[in-house]
Chain A
Amino acid sequence: MKGRTKSQKPDLTKVDKIVSKYKGERGVLISVLQEVQAEFGWVPSQAIQRIADVLEVSLGQVYGVLTFYAQFYLTPRGRNTIRVCRGTACHVRGTKANLRAVERILGIKEGETTSDFKFSLETVACLGTCFLAPVMMINRNYYGKLTPGKVEPILKQYS
């Protein structure tokens, strides 16, 4: 996922290119939004306006879809997504301490993004890797049997 800082304006030609792929198809709003988010890392407001214009739907309709589905981010996201599992097995094996370590090292809380847009932090109900509890995922990598001491060296591996 590519991340951009808020000051940069999104390249709307990319949006046009995505929309044109779906020309002639019905019900493409969600697919278009998904591809736009994959491109920018989030859905910038200028992109939302452009999509509404090109697809000829109301702004309300686009926002309706964006706010209904959990997948869409309306604020810029970090390049790397950290997911700390808060499922039962992890809970019992001390995942809270790991979460606190991440929050402390990065200076952000759950749901937030670092100011340099390097990391976004989330918690998840269960990653399904209970055997490795407590677990943290960064992008598609799993870090199991995690302890607070191991967090910093792991985070340093990411740019």
Chain B
Amino acid sequence: MGKIRTADELDSLRQSIIQKMDPNKSCVRICMTGCRAYGAEEIRDAFNEEISRRGLEDKVEIRETGCHGFCARAPVIVIEPQDIFYQQLTADDVADIVEKTLVKGDIVDRLVYVDPMTGEKIPFAHDVPFYKGQTKNVLRKCGIIDPTNLSHYIARDGSAALSKVLTTMSPEQVIETVERSGLRGRGGAGFPTGRKWRLVRSAAGDTKYVVCNGDEGDPGAFMDRAVLEGDPHSVLEGMLIAAYAIGAKVGYIYVRAEYPIAVEHLKIAISQAEELGFLGENILGSEFSFEIRIKEGAGAFVCGEETALLMSIEGERGMPRPRPPFPAQSGLWGKPTNINNVETYANITSIILNGADWYSKMGTETSKGTKIFSMAGKINNTGLVEVPIGIPVRKVIFDIGGGIPKGRKFKAVQMGGPSGGCVPERHLDLPIDYGSLEAIGSIMGSGGMIVLDENTCAVDIARYFLSFVQSESCGKCTPCRLGTKVMLDTLTRITQGEGSEDDIELLESLGEQVRDTSLCGLGRTCPNPVLTTIKYFRDEYEAHIKEKRCPAASCEALVYAPCEHTCPVNVDAVGYIALIAEGRFEEALHLIRQRNPLAGICGRVCHHPCEVRCKRGEVDEPIAIASLKRFAADYGMEHRVETKVDVSQPKLEKVAIIGSGPAGLTSAFHLAKQGYKVTIFEALPVAGGMLVAGIPEYRLPRDIIQSDINFITSLGVEVKTKTPIGRDLSIDDLFEQGYKAVFIAVGAHKGQRLGVPGDNLKGVYDGVSFLRDVNLGKNVRLGGKIAVIGGGNVAVDAARSALRLGAKEVYIIYRRSRQEMPANVEEIAEAEHEGAKITYLATPTKLSGENGKVNSMECVRMELGEYDDSGRRRPVPIKGSEFSMDIDAVIAAIGQVPDLSFLLPDSDLEITKGQTFVVDPLTLATSRQGVFAGGDVVTGPATVIEAMAAGERAAISIHNYLTGKSMTEGHLRQPEKRLEIPRALETPEEKERVRMPTLTLKRRLGSFQEVNLGYSAQKAMEEAKRCLRCDLER
């Protein structure tokens, strides 16, 4: 191709290229940018070899393209003309693809994308949800063309915008078009592009420059890289049009050196453009001349800031200059300079070709067009997406991004890299545009979106970004140079457990100062991650400082092992698992019992927060920490293992505990260890509280409970069943009888009524009473069709019990969605397996009956509305969505409150509106001296292990109280000497969790036999060996 001298010549060239394109020729488009890290080069070579071997060169084009965007599924290819999408392929798959798809036209099933939500196989790119949700404008050619082949570019309207501008538009008209389009700078600041061009054009002087900022330095951002590597001509064309509009003759592209492929493709593109006369003198026969030079960055994040970038082009240290004067007035070598981001320039051609009106229809009132985002972090579909501005954050993360891996909870999304703030869950419905994000302390930024989940520490993320910024600070201005250092030191101290009370205030005030007084954007925005994490995750900062605890179990200096750290009673889980791996089962049980006296119980019913944090879960599945605890306990029971407990010198003082649930039992255990005489008063005929009255035997057999209780009573603890506290025996009486302290741990057993008409009909049961009756052996007759209302463990337990009692159809009706159901995930699955049908987003409005007995229930459907203070979305009824069902019995399991009727009328104990005790959060002391309260009676219904932690806390407080020490003493865990257990031989790299054997469905029906059968010794050791031994990684 010789030089193109006129617009007509360009059109002819385009036509001749298009004519030569064979629509029947297949094309295999292989991403050769990011996918190179996954073996794309080998795949390309395999294709070339195979095509050549079969002599198919005339029928198949193998094309190397730029980024397709779906990086999570790399390596990817798309086959034209069918638009077949293959993902995660290897060089070994190529022969099959050629044979089956290229030759025969069939699909190779195993390479097709499977939607993880629906299990559907989706062979065509345009149907894949990741792509469907996008609007490709800037990226319209990326992944389609070979970026090093100019004719591909030209054939698809490449250079048409330049031609249109040079032949039919004046510079003024160009600027006016860009202004009307509403395009704003895509580098992060969002300055209106048209206005900037106008400012540069009207600045004094004849020498002007156009500069492209390709110094994409934000960690996690790779939008500009994709554009430069995949469609470099679009950027050149944008720069040409800008230069024409403002009157510049020379342009620079500043690319960071860490993008060698981008530099290479730009060099090729520039020389191609020069060859064809799109760069140089008298472009397309006009008076306009323009040349572009490339400058490579040399490794300095601050050079992404426009004035620092200009200094760098001038060959100086990249330190920003004060503004005004702005580059538009005085930029490169003091001349008026237009600097725009890569993506900004890449937007120009579509605006010119399709018009400002077309462009401004996309986006919001104040932010027009589309934006490219790079998604990274804890998100399933990592990669690049282009969406219209104004799309809700939630849609990008969940619909296009595929949500959070491993079923973990979303925590926040960091937008804008080190300059951005985090967007927490409650703001997920915000539209992504410049204004809305600024309003909550974040920014849109250059487009990097890093998703954080519950296992990411908010404090550590702030520290991570600040550490990056601190090392990149140029040092010129004091606020940034010193401010970032002090902020970083403070954050580092906090993550190491050496934070102090004033640190949060210091970070806030210092952050604000640095933000308001720094010289450039780096300093001005770097406090954002700190300030927003403090705003939305203050509790995490406080846990680090006050309790030396990292809620995400991530900060290495604080965390011995994530499992141990997360456990509310800090069981040395990694320790007992290591012992089991070595076959040292007895020692494992002793180690467990140092912190947890209810091993058999917890091994079966604990909600195991440790497993959510387990690092093995990042590799495949978490270790079955709870089931291994169960194994140790069962082994102990079977082999009559006795755990010796060190008991202090016997003390004279007596302590009374009201309630023999997990809180009371644990408290008794710790007090007995201290030598106190403990008596537990229990109203029911059996001990165990909710464990025996609320959890069905198919989950927690009676003999297991008894065995654990025996371990505690073996320390001399007395349990008086059938002895309620109340009128006949009050708290005052207990003190009179010589008890020196009382711990109230009566739990929350009073079921809440449904509160709808008919909720007092016969056949309407309260969930907890129902379970208690079943567990205590009362004969409960339900009928055939049962509805259980609620979504917690009580509801699920009630449903599974009803099935065993002969109910033919059991429905669980829950007012929120499945994700929000508080019941254990495994329990929900088992309930469905056993036949329970769950209806989400519905709630009863009325119960009707005949002869005083319920026979029908009316419900209304719900949708999730606004966020309330608890951070959850409030369910809101959908008008007109009522439906009815015939029903024989209704079990209400919508929540419990404590039953405080045992208190005397003149009791001075302070209680809340929700019928819980008011206590000091640290010491659990009530408003009456010597009386403490903990567990569900304080928190409302919670979990077994949290109640146990409260029991231990009460014991420490009572011990302090009785020995005259300050009550706050001793609550902070001290570092302790650990057992040294070597790592088991070679931890298996990829091995699924050992499955828990369960009773067959047939054997479950009509019986309350335990469903989970427990690991054998061999299975237990196998599972234990999967542990990564995080304690040894420190």
* A71: contacting residue among B219, B298, B314, B333, CB under 8 A: B298
Given A34-B257, A70-B300, A96-B1033: A26 in contact with B314 (beta carbons within 8 A): yes
9-residue interface stretch from A1-9, A74-82, A129-137: A129-137
Given A93-B619, A125-B468, A129-B37: A27 in contact with B314 (beta carbons within 8 A): yes
Chain B stretch 281-304: residues in CB contact (< 8 A) with chain A: 295-300
Taking a contact as CB atoms under 8 Å apart, the answer to whether B313 and A128 are in contact is: no
| B388: chain A residues within 8 A (beta carbon) | none
Taking a contact as CB atoms under 8 Å apart, the answer to whether B317 and A65 are in contact is: yes
| CA distance in complex: A126, B219 (Å) | 8
Given A31-B295, A68-B317: A130 in contact with B382 (beta carbons within 8 A): yes
A92 within 8 A of B: yes
Taking a contact as CB atoms under 8 Å apart, the answer to whether B312 and A30 are in contact is: yes
A153 within 8 A of B: no
Chain A stretch 1-47: residues in CB contact (< 8 A) with chain B: 26-31, 33-34
Taking the closest CB of chain B, its distance from the CB of A5, in whole angstroms, is 25
B376 within 8 A of A: yes
For B227-271 the 0/1 string (1 means CB < 8 A from A) is 000000000000000000000000000000100100000000000
Name, among B72, B315, B1028, the residue most crowded by chain A CB atoms within 10 Å (CB to CB): B315
Taking the closest CB of chain A, its distance from the CB of B468, in whole angstroms, is 7
| CA distance in complex: A144, B299 (Å) | 25
A72 within 8 A of B: yes
Taking a contact as CB atoms under 8 Å apart, the answer to whether B37 and A69 are in contact is: no
* B219: contacting residue among A27, A72, A94, A125, CB under 8 A: A125
Given A26-B314, A27-B313: A68 in contact with B300 (beta carbons within 8 A): yes
For B77-110 the 0/1 string (1 means CB < 8 A from A) is 0000000000000000000000000000000000
Taking the closest CB of chain A, its distance from the CB of B565, in whole angstroms, is 15
Taking a contact as CB atoms under 8 Å apart, the answer to whether B299 and A71 are in contact is: yes
| A125: chain B residues within 8 A (beta carbon) | 219, 468
| CA distance in complex: A108, B315 (Å) | 34
Given contacts A26-B315, A142-B36, 14 further A-B contacts (CB under 8 A): A27-B313, A27-B315, A30-B315, A31-B295, A68-B474, A69-B300, A70-B298, A71-B298, A72-B299, A88-B377, A92-B618, A129-B38, A132-B37, A144-B37
| B260: chain A residues within 8 A (beta carbon) | 140
* B296: contacting residue among A31, A96, A127, A145, CB under 8 A: A31
Taking a contact as CB atoms under 8 Å apart, the answer to whether B1028 and A94 are in contact is: yes
- 5 tightest A-B CB contacts, nearest first: A70-B299, A69-B298, A29-B315, A71-B299, A27-B315
| CA distance in complex: A68, B65 (Å) | 36
| B318: chain A residues within 8 A (beta carbon) | 68-69
Among residues of B, the one whose C-beta sits closest to the C-beta of A147 is B989
B767 within 8 A of A: no
Taking a contact as CB atoms under 8 Å apart, the answer to whether A72 and B298 are in contact is: yes
A64 within 8 A of B: yes
For A45-76 the 0/1 string (1 means CB < 8 A from B) is 00000000000000000001100111110000
| CA distance in complex: A71, B989 (Å) | 36
B770 within 8 A of A: no
Q: Could you list some 10 contacts between A and B, CB below 8 A?
A: A26-B333, A27-B316, A30-B312, A34-B296, A68-B317, A93-B618, A127-B37, A128-B37, A130-B376, A142-B37
| A68: chain B residues within 8 A (beta carbon) | 300, 317-318, 474
| B1033: chain A residues within 8 A (beta carbon) | 94, 96-97
Given A69-B298, A69-B300, A96-B1033: A126 in contact with B315 (beta carbons within 8 A): no
Given A26-B314, A34-B298, A93-B618: A132 in contact with B38 (beta carbons within 8 A): yes
B34 within 8 A of A: yes
What residues of chain A have their CB less than 8 Å away from a CB belonging to chain B? Answer: 26-31, 33-34, 64-65, 68-72, 88-89, 92-94, 96-97, 125-132, 140, 142, 144-145, 147
| CA distance in complex: A29, B318 (Å) | 12
Name, among A27, A28, A65, the residue most crowded by chain B CB atoms within 10 Å (CB to CB): A27
| A128: chain B residues within 8 A (beta carbon) | 34, 37, 222, 376
Among residues of A, the one whose C-beta sits closest to the C-beta of B990 is A145
Taking the closest CB of chain B, its distance from the CB of A158, in whole angstroms, is 18
Chain B stretch 590-627: residues in CB contact (< 8 A) with chain A: 615, 618-619
B806 within 8 A of A: no
B220 within 8 A of A: yes
| CA distance in complex: A69, B474 (Å) | 10
Taking the closest CB of chain B, its distance from the CB of A147, in whole angstroms, is 7
| B36: chain A residues within 8 A (beta carbon) | 142
Chain B stretch 30-53: residues in CB contact (< 8 A) with chain A: 34, 36-38
Name, among A26, A93, A128, A132, the residue most crowded by chain B CB atoms within 10 Å (CB to CB): A128
Taking a contact as CB atoms under 8 Å apart, the answer to whether B315 and A65 are in contact is: yes
| CA distance in complex: A97, B1029 (Å) | 13
Chain B stretch 863-905: residues in CB contact (< 8 A) with chain A: none
Chain B stretch 434-493: residues in CB contact (< 8 A) with chain A: 468, 474
B74 within 8 A of A: yes
| CA distance in complex: A69, B312 (Å) | 10
| CA distance in complex: A125, B71 (Å) | 19
| CA distance in complex: A65, B299 (Å) | 11
Chain B stretch 972-1010: residues in CB contact (< 8 A) with chain A: 989
Name, among A33, A71, A89, the residue most crowded by chain B CB atoms within 10 Å (CB to CB): A71
* A28: contacting residue among B296, B315, B474, B615, CB under 8 A: B315
Among residues of A, the one whose C-beta sits closest to the C-beta of B318 is A68
Among residues of B, the one whose C-beta sits closest to the C-beta of A68 is B317
| CA distance in complex: A84, B618 (Å) | 19
| A126: chain B residues within 8 A (beta carbon) | 219-220
* A131: contacting residue among B72, B299, B313, CB under 8 A: B72
| B74: chain A residues within 8 A (beta carbon) | 131
Among residues of A, the one whose C-beta sits closest to the C-beta of B332 is A27
Among residues of A, the one whose C-beta sits closest to the C-beta of B257 is A71
Chain B stretch 367-382: residues in CB contact (< 8 A) with chain A: 376-377, 382
| B257: chain A residues within 8 A (beta carbon) | 34, 71
| B296: chain A residues within 8 A (beta carbon) | 30-31, 34
Chain B stretch 125-155: residues in CB contact (< 8 A) with chain A: none
| B474: chain A residues within 8 A (beta carbon) | 68
| CA distance in complex: A147, B989 (Å) | 9
| A94: chain B residues within 8 A (beta carbon) | 1028, 1033
| CA distance in complex: A39, B298 (Å) | 16
| CA distance in complex: A145, B990 (Å) | 11
Taking the closest CB of chain B, its distance from the CB of A78, in whole angstroms, is 18
Taking the closest CB of chain A, its distance from the CB of B543, in whole angstroms, is 21
Among residues of A, the one whose C-beta sits closest to the C-beta of B71 is A131
| B316: chain A residues within 8 A (beta carbon) | 27, 29, 65
Taking the closest CB of chain B, its distance from the CB of A26, in whole angstroms, is 7
| CA distance in complex: A72, B260 (Å) | 16
| CA distance in complex: A145, B39 (Å) | 13
Taking the closest CB of chain B, its distance from the CB of A18, in whole angstroms, is 14
Taking the closest CB of chain B, its distance from the CB of A39, in whole angstroms, is 15
Name, among B37, B220, B313, B468, the residue most crowded by chain A CB atoms within 10 Å (CB to CB): B37
Taking the closest CB of chain A, its distance from the CB of B20, in whole angstroms, is 34
Taking a contact as CB atoms under 8 Å apart, the answer to whether A30 and B298 are in contact is: yes
Among residues of A, the one whose C-beta sits closest to the C-beta of B39 is A142
| CA distance in complex: A14, B1033 (Å) | 48
| CA distance in complex: A70, B473 (Å) | 12
| CA distance in complex: A27, B912 (Å) | 73
Taking the closest CB of chain B, its distance from the CB of A91, in whole angstroms, is 9
| CA distance in complex: A127, B295 (Å) | 23
Taking the closest CB of chain A, its distance from the CB of B622, in whole angstroms, is 13
| B333: chain A residues within 8 A (beta carbon) | 26-27
| A33: chain B residues within 8 A (beta carbon) | 298
| CA distance in complex: A124, B333 (Å) | 35
Chain B stretch 1015-1034: residues in CB contact (< 8 A) with chain A: 1028, 1033
Taking the closest CB of chain B, its distance from the CB of A15, in whole angstroms, is 16
Taking the closest CB of chain A, its distance from the CB of B550, in whole angstroms, is 15
| A140: chain B residues within 8 A (beta carbon) | 260
| CA distance in complex: A88, B461 (Å) | 11
Taking a contact as CB atoms under 8 Å apart, the answer to whether B382 and A131 are in contact is: yes
| B72: chain A residues within 8 A (beta carbon) | 131
Taking the closest CB of chain A, its distance from the CB of B378, in whole angstroms, is 9
